[in-house]
Amino acid sequence: MILVLMGPPGAGKGTQAARLAADMSIPQVSTGDLLREARRDGSDIGKRAAGYMDAGTLVPDDVVIALIERRLEQGDCKPGAILDGFPRTVAQAVQLDDMLERGQRQVGAVISIMVNEDEIVERILGRLTCGQCGAVFHRLIKPPAVAGQCDVCEGGVSSRSDDNEDAIRTRLQTYTNQTAPVLDYYGGAGRLEKVDGTGGMDDVFERIQDALSVA
């Protein structure tokens, strides 16, 4: 099953995608993580993406589409994948459908996690991310057991370079302008399930599972 997980930045997509991936035994594929990896590796793609990412704007479609196509061709994605942060434009959604159709596959379900803007800004400003494995913590709500160190892999945790208030506002604006229309694209085709993203992680996970059982 190819599952698309959507929602504004800070809605908890990454956290929920990781849980779903473990639960469904299929990989979580995050374009944000793939791009951060490319930056760490110093690859051409990483260099091309850096400026857009730090400003909170979208990396050009052709870059992320090439990345995702390469990733979905890998063997571990044969049984399916949880797409986290992709597609983020209607052009990406159309290309995803085309790419999957060529392999006789399709998007099985689209879940949109809904959270209001004030809560998002609060969540993101406190967010701490492991530079090594991508695990996410929060300064107040979920601090790592040892300050500055990831509970999962003992890598260093810090604020992402794009988790500052200016970039967050830009990312939210980008979401409204470019990504919200993707919800209409899927909604029109009857493929979209909306889930309330407020409250605890377990509650949201349960709501997603309920939504998937009717999708």
Please report, as residue ranges, which positions from 158 to 197 form the binding site for ligand AMP (by CB under 6 A): 162, 171
DSSP state of 178: I
In the complex, which residue's CB is closest to ligand AMP? 32
- Cα gap 17→15, rounded to integer Å: 6
Here's the x/- map for ligand AMP, 126-155, by CB under 6 A: it reads as ------------------------------
For the bound state, the minimum distance from the C-beta of residue 56 to ligand AMP, rounded and expressed in Å, comes to: 6
Kindly give, in sequence order, each residue whose CB lies less than 8 Å from that of residue 136, ignoring residues fewer than 6 positions away.
14, 15, 127, 128, 129, 130
Considering only 7, 46, 85, 197, the residue that binds ligand AMP (CB under 6 A) is: 85
Considering only 11, 29, 38, 64, the residue that binds ligand AMP (CB under 6 A) is: 64
- Selected range binding ligand AMP among 80-88, 96-104, 184-192, 205-213, rule: CB under 6 A: 80-88
Q: Which of these, 176, 180, 137, lies nearest to 156 by C-alpha position?
A: 137
Considering only 1, 18, 48, 52, the residue that binds ligand AMP (CB under 6 A) is: 52
Q: Binding to ligand AMP by residue 35, rule CB under 6 A?
A: yes
Q: Which of these, 180, 175, 171, lies nearest to 56 by C-alpha position?
A: 171
Q: Binding to ligand AMP by residue 8, rule CB under 6 A?
A: no
List residues with catalytic annotation. Answer: 13, 88, 127, 160, 171
Letter for the amino acid at 70? Answer: R
- Cα gap 12→57, rounded to integer Å: 19
For the bound state, the minimum distance from the C-beta of residue 50 to ligand AMP, rounded and expressed in Å, comes to: 9
Q: Could you tell me how many residues make up the chain?
A: 215
DSSP state of 161: T
Kindly give, in sequence order, each residue whose CB lies less than 8 Å from that of residue 107, ignoring residues fewer than 6 positions away.
2, 3, 4, 96, 97, 100, 186, 191
Residues near ligand AMP (CB under 6 A) are 9, 31-32, 35, 52-53, 56, 58-59, 64, 85-86, 88, 92, 162, 171
